[in-house]
Amino acid sequence: MTTVQFSKKQVRDSFNKAAHRYDQFAIVQQEVCQRLLERLDYIKVTPQTILDIGAGTGQGTQGLALMYPDATIIALDMAEQMLVQNRLKLTDSSNLIKKVKDLFKKESKQQFVCADAEQLPFSDASMDMIFSSLTIQWCTDLNTLFSEFRRVLKPGGLLMFTTLGMATLKELKASWTEVSNKQHVNYFTDMHEIGDALYNAQVENPVMDNETIVLNYSSVKQIMRELKAVGANNHNQAREHALTGKDRLQALVKTYEQFRTEAGLPVTYEILYGHAWNPQTPMQETQSGMTSISLAQLKSNLHG
């Protein structure tokens, strides 16, 4: 399995800088989060404690609060400024008195935690549901991540998530490849790698599917500006560290034009959806400490 090496600090800094204007440009992120919320309509659960991982500015947190008004919802993000925006959305700005009371209300159903998804600061078996939309792509090790998910989920708990697949930004990646030998586009994982991590975590009934969303822009400049505005900068260690020169940018613009259609310059997003259940039984380990699951069970889950 590929282990992606990001600088977590750089990712956090990018999203902190983007937080105040994130909602103006996060078209795909908002659409995908809404589609993930809609999938919950078909799953009959009544969670009491929900962990929204990568909660960002709060679309998922708000949606979950409406769907499960009696649940405690914990919004977690490693960018503290995203949580500031999230919290503002969950308060009534038209009523200052109510706003102040809500912020200090001990029995509040919403909580805010700034932390890393791969090192969750929660006790074992403490969550009924984990909800995570377009966050996994910013994590460095899938096995560690899904082991943490399983650890904090209660027996029978539900995991719902989305992430970005390998076809994401394929036009931009192909264009950069023709003008530079450095990595200018983030690495996005293959659906099979996500599946492997789910199987290694020994979750039950994992289901994954994907879909493609294509946005069209008038110029490469607009594309680059909006990617930066949502914090989706290139964070790979193999990226180009020097400033990109004018000649190289002009070459990129020229190369990207090969993809232009009547609708404009396309930007592809491959969206991976997944859900699974936490088993009632603890994870099993082999004598070497490696997790073990039968090939027959894997095939049954994959094709079932």
**Has residue 28 been placed in a domain?**
yes
What's the one-letter identity of residue 111? Q
**CA pseudo-torsion sign 232, 230, 18, 32:** negative
Residue 34 belongs to some domain of the structure? yes
In a domain, 130, yes or no: yes
pLDDT band at 229 (very low <50, low <70, confident <90, very high): very high
Where in the sequence is the domain holding 117, given as residue range(s)?
8-166+188-210+271-303
In a domain, 245, yes or no: no
Alpha-carbon Rg for the chain in angstroms: 20
Q: Is residue 226 part of a domain?
A: no
User: For 28-81, how does the pLDDT look when each residue is reduced to its tens digit (9 = 90+)?
Assistant: 999 999 999 999 999 999 999 999 999 999 999 999 999 999 999 999 999 999
- Residue type at position 126: S
Residue 81's CATH number? 3.40.50.150
Contact 154, 48 (CB under 8 A): no
User: Mean pLDDT, the chain, as a whole number?
Assistant: 86
Instruction: Give, rounded to a whole angstrom, the gap between the first and last alpha carbons of the chain.
Output: 23
Structure confidence by residue, pLDDT tens digits, 140-191: 999 999 999 999 999 999 999 999 999 999 999 999 988 876 676 888 989 9
User: Where does residue 51 rank: exposed (0-12), middle (13-18), buried (19+ CB within 10 A)?
Assistant: buried
Smallest CA-to-CA distance from 188 within 263, 122, 146, 134 is with 134
Mean pLDDT of 122-127: 98
Give the torsion sign (CA, 282, 283, 284, 286): negative
Q: Say what the pLDDT of residue 130 is.
A: 98
Quick one: average pLDDT of 83-89?
93
**Number of domains the chain contains:** 1
From CA 149, how far away is CA 126, in angstroms rounded? 11
62 located within any domain: yes
The letter for the amino acid at 86 is N
pLDDT of residue 298: 47
Exposure class string for 29-40: b at 16+ Cβ within 10 A, else e: bbebbeebbeeb
31 in a structural domain: yes
Asked if pLDDT for residue 223 goes beyond 90, the answer is: yes
Q: How many CB atoms lie within 10 A of CB 246?
A: 8
- Dump pLDDT digits (tens) for 233-287: 654 544 454 445 677 889 999 999 999 999 999 999 999 999 999 998 776 654 4
Q: Is position 257 within any domain?
A: no
Please list the residues that pair with 211 across neighbouring strands.
271
Which among 16, 40, 21, 34 is positioned nearest to 213, based on CA atoms? 34
